Amino acid sequence: MQDSPSQAPRTGRPALILASSSRYRRELLERLRIPFETAVPAIDETPHPGETPEATALRLAAAKARAVAAALPAGASRALVIGSDQVATFDGRQIGKPGTHERALEQLQAMRGRDVLFHSALSVLDTATGQTDTVDVVTKVRFRDLPDAALDAYLRAETPYDCAGSAKAEGLGIALLEAIESDDPTALIGLPLIALTRMLLAAGYPLLETQA
């Protein structure tokens, strides 16, 4: 894996580019054991006024893929560019990355004992055709009703300040959750792999074929 897009791998498969700076998405994509590169998309991630959480997530996932595809050099070999974005919401409000301990604690206090929806949008852009496939995978999470001291202890142990909703389900954050309902277990972490593998196979990417 390389840090920036260059050219298609010598296997003959199209280049695979993850349009994200997230280490969580990178680690998830590594589970597929396929070569890929990463590139950071330069886009404004501010939600539009009146935009639904689903619309925000889908728009940003597609925008990330388009931004990275547009930055590829002229004449570059075919690539599949993966964009992803996640928006958490409850009571009709969008919940972003807290950034600080204080804001994370406020998020967890507001969500305890409540159901929260996580919209994990995925977009795959084929640079050969310009076609984009997008999907929104929704995960319903019920948070436990825990005291402030427990929430504070969790935040100090795991510092999940770069995670929407302030809880890492793949780590200690699972202790904050009462239940998770989803068709794709990796969606909550940030990259829905069931949806992604379906989209890559539909685009002709040989996920399970031995390459010479």
User: Which residues does the annotation mark as catalytic?
Assistant: 85
What's the 3-state SS for the chain?
CECCCCCCCCCCCCEEEEECCCHHHHHHHHCCCCCCEEECCCCCCCCCCCCCHHHHHHHHHHHHHHHHHHCCCCCCCCEEEEEEEEEEEECCEEECCCCCHHHHHHHHHHHCCCEEEEEEEEEEEECCCCCEEEEEEEEEEEECCCCHHHHHHHHHHHCCCCCCCCCCCCCHHHHHEEEEECCCCCCCCCCCHHHHHHHHHHCCCCCCCCCC
Q: How many angstroms from the chain centroid is the CA of residue 165?
A: 13
Q: What is the CA radius of gyration of the chain?
A: 18
